[in-house]
Structure 1
Amino acid sequence: MRLVTWNINSLRLRMPLLEKLTTSLLPDVVCLQETKVTDELFPLDAVRALGFEHLHYKGMKSYNGVAILSRLPLSPATNTPTWYGKEDCRHVAATVHAPEGDVTLHDFYVPAGGDEPDPDTNPKFAHKLAFVEEVTQWFTHNKPTRTVLVGDLNIAPLEHDVWSHKQLLKIVSHTPPETERLTHWQQTGFVDAMRHFVPPTDKLYTWWSYRNKDWRKSNRGRRLDHVWVTPDLVPQLASMSVLEDARDWPSPSDHVPVVMDIHPSP
């Protein structure tokens, strides 16, 4: 199974980029975040024309939105919580009926958290921390097996997940309150699949701000997009790549796709 996760930053605007991605990589499953389209206006025909017959999505106008696009049969989960009491379309889950066996798939878009890392003065940051805490509690009581969790988690947890650990410690996405909470979430039963292939001592980014006119030259990136798997799937991890070149596509997202190949154990 070839799996892609990507914050596409508007599905309808970037349908040509999704077509470019799927034509070149032939993924079995694509998980999108920030689709920014209501369910009624979801581009069903265009997505199905790319070969994705099995779909599960939740969307809203102009903000958020998540979607699972699959060539493999899906059984959508219908009992996922309403996180933080908000119907803001940040999570979908499904069972993927893969040839090597069923896999549970979670696609998350964690709140960005605004600019000020103070929950007392910034409701967006308070929302972010509470969201991660609530999700962590849920997975603590619903232990995952044969599960893949992907998405824009909007937190770069490790020192080399950001261009400057020292300078970003007080910047939202890399502050200790966020990174500690994300680590606790991961410890509910997941392995960082991207770092399975790239050592924690190496720089690894998936996002570069639009403010950087020459993003390659400045390379002030952060790893905000993640792929986690439960330990029972680690032996099936075959390869991983971050499609940095997608940052140079026409009208790009500020995030790039992450590709994970999961193969049956020999």
Structure 2
Amino acid sequence: MTQRVTIASWNINSVRFRLEAVERFLREAAPDILCLQETKVEDGLFPHPLFEQLGYGHRAIKGQRMHHGVAILSRLPLADHGHHDWQDNGEARHIGVRLPGGVRLENVYVPAGGDVPDVDANPKFAQKLAFIERMTRWSEALTEPTLIVGDFNIAPLESDVWSHKQLLDVVSHTPIEVEALGRLQAAHGWVDLGRRFHPAPARLFTWWSYRAKDWAASDRGRRLDHMWASPAVAETAVAHHVYEPCRAWLKPSDHIPILTEFAW
């Protein structure tokens, strides 16, 4: 019997500050599973009651005070909770679980990398590339059917940014980052579900800076949020959606939710 499962991902930029937005999204889109990044809350202060009330009785969290933090909120049972320290410094940037049926779900928040795309001048940029390299080594050894989602903080394709030419030297779209992400994708044959259903050069932004006076009018977006699947898992995907109206909600995140529908 085929089961329809919907999995969403959203860099919420503080789950407690944007709790009303999260609740609205869960009520309107009703995903079976929501993966959050940048929750910015210690585990003991995570707002469990709301999610329990909304039916997301299964949760896996990895929090940190004021920074980073990831969570998986689910209507479906979750097993084998665990995390990888791809940052190699204890930061809360990953949480993983096993879903019913055996698929692994990995939720990741890749470091932004600072402002200067130079590994010698900017330690944050070097850490970002090292993080992706550790993910690549992990992907090479991966044997389970897996879905990895989250804020990758890289817009790989020319059509993934508002201006390829103007952003070539801007962290998130530099050639060195794009090449590193390409090696990561090749290491496991990951299928980019966003571009599978919305092939380039279709517009598919997921992030707009807070600095823009009118983000919608300027539309200087980037596709920083991704869902990648093992080939076998990708074959079960039936649709992929982006929820751009969420960027205009009260107290918005600078990211919007993305969601993939699967038939398992």
Q: TM-score per shorter chain, which class?
A: over 0.9
How far residue 81 of structure 1 moved from its aligned partner, in angstroms, is 3.1
SS at match of 2:261: strand
Describe the superposition over 1:71-110 as per-residue Cα deviations: whole angstroms up to 9, x where unpaired.
00001333x432232111000100011xxx2211000000
Instruction: Name the counterpart of 2:18.
Output: 14
**Separation in 1 of the partners of 2:142 and 2:234?**
20
Do residues 26 (structure 1) and 22 (structure 2) align? no
Instruction: Note the 1:119-198 alignment, pairs <5 A.
Output: 119-143=119-143, 145-189=144-188, 190-198=190-198
User: Structure 2: 5+ residue runs without aligned partners?
Assistant: none
Do residues 86 (structure 1) and 111 (structure 2) align? no
How far residue 237 of structure 1 moved from its aligned partner, in angstroms, is 1.1
Instruction: Name the counterpart of 1:66.
Output: 70
Q: Is contact 2:85–2:93 with CA below 8 Å preserved after alignment?
A: no
How far residue 258 of structure 1 moved from its aligned partner, in angstroms, is 0.2
Query: Structure 2-normalised TM-score?
Result: 0.96
**Separation in 2 of the partners of 1:263 and 1:156?**
28
Instruction: Note the 1:34-113 alignment, pairs <5 A.
Output: 34-78=38-82, 80-97=83-100, 101-113=101-113
**Separation in 2 of the partners of 1:154 and 1:66?**
15
**Separation in 2 of the partners of 1:85 and 1:153?**
17
**Separation in 2 of the partners of 1:71 and 1:114?**
36
SS at match of 1:85: coil
User: Structure 1: 5+ residue runs without aligned partners?
Assistant: none
**Separation in 1 of the partners of 2:68 and 2:200?**
30
Q: Is contact 2:155–2:161 with CA below 8 Å preserved after alignment?
A: yes
Work out the percentage of aligned pairs sharing the same amino acid.
49
Instruction: Name the counterpart of 1:115.
Output: 115
**Separation in 2 of the partners of 1:24 and 1:85?**
37
**Separation in 1 of the partners of 2:197 and 2:13?**
26
Q: How many residues align?
A: 259
Query: Structure 1-normalised TM-score?
Result: 0.95
Structure 2 counterpart of 1:109, one-letter code: Y
Structure 2 counterpart of 1:14, one-letter code: R
Structure 1 counterpart of 2:107, one-letter code: D
